[in-house]
């Protein structure tokens, strides 16, 4: 059984291709969306999801989120006195999703298709594979998020012949892909994006706006206070999807402050973020050799595309309304399940074929002789696989040593679109030993192979000897060796998971505690009473009573959370 996983910055989902097509798998709380947040309790047990998200407010030192943005770096997160890499934290989320799938399917799950932003580089993709391996999953395929979304839409209209533009604005990344569908074949024509632009950036702008209103400096706020303000800002952002103005409240010290923001104000304070979305849109259309008028369908993907300012931008640029027939929060996970079905050769998908592209240019550093042929200019970027080349693909170049008798060549691999390597992203480097030869310049054959998961392999061969060398990326941020992955897998096994049957109760307690932190006066007193009532029910160990009280408490809490200083 191969499952599909959408490993997101804000939320993650798991799915499977069943008898009736792609279906989402609920977590232990009955929800399809699992917040990508991790918390460690006092016993060292890990908790992932809604409860961990609420603990960001009450236990900032023992909880964390948004670590997907750190994938491909060596940045450590200190949580509950543990230094954890982004792969470790992502592995905890993946392990939780794996557990949900196994509980739902009633069998062990060891294989997965995992979606990644189209603009994730080679290091970030390998970090994602490493996280899966640490969680005990074998990655059958990494699928680009907009491609997954298009697969989900394409399944609904297998006989259609359309050119799709998929606009994917998630919690932390922005991707654009153009695809053509004809006779059940889905072909990606081009991809572009920004790996550091997402809904969280818009939340940040609202946080800064609210801080300005309260004469606060976000960098100087306590972690718990800032987490509470982020939750308030996020709530305001969501409210603006349906209302012209969002009215919320925030406990600042011993004062409950009424805060307000309008759609126009959000658009004003995030104008530069909106402008950043235009560049990938223009590049994707240009690379596909199309004009805006030749796009048949525009599909919105990712929770952040619910923002009216995003939908208005797309409508203005393309002079038509975008589609959101499928839930933008879940469509990528559904597409990952379709890809899992394709790999499993499911009979329902036998007439469906998909091709994808390399979203960025891959190349290596070279030097070229100046006009007088006496000196060399270094740092030149030589493309080998151009962006938007259909994958899988393998290309090679012959390079020549700069001098006779040269003992080695330093191969430095980069990703990017700039003419000089200093402006591109370094993926890795390694040295190739050359035989001593004073008669002529030694030659080396460099071959790049980019597979269907978007993972790069570099092989170089000394032409005169036939000796091969593979690029092993060492010392680069985000790169783990096989031994390190095995070590982390064993360490993760030692971290106990909070009991699944207690997850619902733990999540409600964390939610009540977070609401208490952000309230004052009578509202705080009422929330405290709810916590006491629920804890008394838990102490009875009577499952029926616990379920009854939980239902009542959730209803009352929802009312108290919705009320604010404007009421």
Higher pLDDT, 514 or 243: 243
Q: Residue 348 has what pLDDT? A: 64
392-397's contacts with Cβ under 8 Å and 24+ in sequence apart are: 392/449, 392/450, 392/451, 392/452, 393/358, 393/449, 393/450, 394/447, 394/448, 394/449, 394/450, 395/447, 395/448, 396/445, 396/446, 396/447, 396/448, 397/364, 397/445, 397/446
Q: Tell me, yes or no, if 180 is annotated catalytic.
A: no
- The torsion of the CA quartet 336, 314, 159, 157, rounded to 10 degrees, works out to 50
pLDDT at 350: 67
Residue 197 has pLDDT above 50, yes or no: yes
- Is residue 378 pLDDT above 70, yes or no? yes
What is the per-residue pLDDT for 305? Answer: 94
Look at residue 17 in the predicted model and tell me its pLDDT: 93
Helical ranges in 81-222 per DSSP H: 86-105, 122-134, 145-156, 199-213
Q: Dihedrals φ, ψ of 29, to 5°?
A: -95, 0
Choosing from 50, 100, 145, 194, the catalytic residue is 145
Would residue 408 show up in a list of annotated catalytic residues for this protein?
Answer: no
Segment 461-473 mean pLDDT: 82
**CATH number for the domain formed by residue range(s) 360-462:** 2.60.34.10
Average pLDDT over every residue of 435-450: 90
pLDDT at 514 over 60: yes
Instruction: Match 């691999």 to its residue by tokens.
Output: 413
In DSSP terms, 444 is beta-bridged to 399, 462
Q: Which of 181-185, 223-227, 438-442 has the lowest mean pLDDT?
A: 181-185
Give me the pLDDT at residue 567, please: 46
From 87, 133, 168, 442, the catalytic residue: 168
b vs e for 249-272, b when ≥16 Cβ sit within 10 Å of the residue's Cβ?
A: bbbbeeebbebebebebbbebbee
Decide if 343 contacts 113 (C-beta within 8 A). Answer: yes
Span 257-301, pLDDT tens digits: 999 999 999 999 999 999 999 989 998 998 888 998 899 889 999
* 3 or 400, greater pLDDT: 3
β partners of residue 393: 450
Q: Which residue in the list 53, 66, 68, 237 is annotated as catalytic?
A: 68
Q: Which of 176, 159, 158 is nearest to 167 (CA)?
A: 176
Highest mean pLDDT among 88-102, 376-390, 516-530: 88-102
pLDDT of residue 564: 54
Cut 0.75: pTM above it = yes
Judged against a pLDDT cut of 70, whether residue 423 lies above it is answered with yes
What is the CA 352 to chain-centroid distance, rounded? 26
Is pLDDT of 372 > 80? Answer: no
What pLDDT, on the 0 to 100 scale, is given for residue 211? 95
53 is a catalytic site residue? no
Return the top range by mean pLDDT from 36-50, 260-274, 422-436, 447-461.
260-274
Q: What is the dihedral of CA 144, 150, 154, 156, to 10 degrees?
A: 110
pLDDT, position 111: 96
Averaged confidence pLDDT in the chain: 87
Flag whether pLDDT at 511 surpasses 60.
Answer: yes
Q: What angle do CA 96, 98, 102 make, to 5 degrees?
A: 120
Annotated catalytic, 404?
A: no
Q: Residue 157: which pLDDT band, with cuts at 50, 70 and 90?
A: low
Secondary structure of residue 34 in the 3-state scheme: strand
201-228: burial string, b at 16+ Cβ within 10 Å, e else = bbbebbbebbbeeeebeeeebeebbbbb
Confidence grade of residue 472 (pLDDT, cut at 50, 70, 90): low
Topology agreement, domain 2-197+272-357 and domain 360-462: no
Token pair, residue 17, equals 């291709």
The H or E element containing residue 297 is strand 297-301
Map residue 383 onto helix, strand or coil: strand
d(CA 233, CA 534): 28
Any idea where the domains of the chain sit in the sequence? 2-197+272-357, 360-462, 500-562
Mean pLDDT calculated for residue range 127-140 = 93
The CATH number of the domain covering residues in 2-197+272-357: 3.30.420.40
More confident residue, 383 or 523: 383
């Amino acid at each position: 059984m191969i499952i599909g996983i959408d490993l997101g910055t804000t939320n993650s989902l798991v799915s499977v291709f069943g008898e009736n097509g792609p279906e989402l798998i609920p977590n232990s709380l009955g929800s399809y969306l699992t917040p990508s947040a991790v918390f460690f309790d006092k016993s060292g047990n890990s908790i992932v999801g809604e409860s961990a998200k609420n603990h960001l407010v009450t236990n900032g030192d023992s909880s964390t989120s948004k670590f997907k943005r750190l994938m491909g770096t060596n940045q450590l997160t200190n949580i509950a006195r543990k230094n954890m890499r982004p792969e470790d934290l992502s592995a905890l989320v993946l392990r939780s999703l794996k557990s949900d799938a196994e509980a739902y399917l009633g069998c062990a799950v060891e294989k997965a298709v995992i979606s990644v932003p189209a603009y994730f580089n080679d290091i970030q993709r390998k970090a994602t594979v490493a996280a899966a391996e640490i969680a005990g999953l074998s990655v059958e395929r990494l699928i680009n998020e907009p491609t997954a979304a298009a697969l989900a839409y394409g399944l609904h209209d297998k006989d259609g012949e359309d050119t799709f533009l998929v606009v994917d604005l998630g919690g932390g990344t922005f991707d654009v892909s153009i695809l053509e569908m004809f006779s059940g074949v889905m072909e990606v024509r081009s991809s572009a994006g920004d790996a550091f632009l997402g809904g969280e950036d818009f939340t940040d702008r609202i946080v800064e706006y609210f801080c300005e209103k309260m004469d606060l400096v976000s960098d100087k706020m306590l972690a718990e206070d800032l987490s509470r303000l982020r939750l308030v800002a996020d709530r305001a952002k969501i409210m603006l999807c349906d209302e012209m103005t969002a009215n919320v409240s925030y406990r600042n010290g011993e004062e409950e402050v009424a805060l307000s923001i309008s759609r126009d104000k959000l658009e004003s304070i995030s104008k530069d973020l909106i402008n950043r979305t235009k560049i990938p849109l223009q590049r994707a259309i240009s690379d596909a050799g199309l004009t805006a008028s030749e796009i048949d369908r525009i599909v919105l993907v990712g929770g952040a595309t619910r923002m009216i300012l995003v939908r208005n931008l797309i409508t203005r640029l393309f002079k038509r309304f975008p589609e959101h027939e499928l839930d933008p929060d879940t469509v990528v996970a559904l597409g990952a399940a379709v890809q899992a079905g394709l790999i499993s050769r499911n009979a329902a998908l036998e007439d469906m074929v998909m091709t994808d592209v390399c979203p960025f240019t891959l190349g290596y550093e070279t030097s070229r002789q100046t006009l007088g042929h006496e000196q060399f200019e270094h740092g030149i970027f030589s493309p080998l696989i151009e962006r938007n080349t259909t994958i899988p693909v393998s290309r090679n170049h012959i390079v020549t040593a700069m001098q006779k008798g040269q003992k080695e060549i330093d191969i430095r691999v980069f990703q990017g679109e700039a003419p000089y390597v200093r402006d591109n992203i370094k993926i890795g480097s390694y040295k190739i030993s050359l035989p001593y030869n004073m008669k002529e310049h030694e030659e080396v054959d460099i071959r790049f192979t980019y597979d269907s998961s978007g993972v790069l392999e570099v092989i170089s061969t000394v032409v005169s000897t036939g000796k091969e060398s593979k690029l092993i990326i060492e010392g680069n941020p985000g790169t783990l060796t096989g031994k390190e992955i095995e070590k982390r897998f064993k360490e993760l096994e030692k971290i106990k998971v909070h009991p699944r049957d207690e997850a619902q109760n733990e999540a409600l307690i964390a939610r009540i505690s977070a609401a208490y932190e952000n309230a004052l006066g009578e509202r705080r007193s009422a929330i405290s009473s709810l916590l006491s009532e629920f804890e008394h029910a838990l102490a009875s160990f009577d499952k029926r009573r616990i379920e009854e009280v939980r239902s009542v408490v959730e209803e009352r809490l929802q009312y108290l959370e919705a009320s604010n200083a404007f009421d």
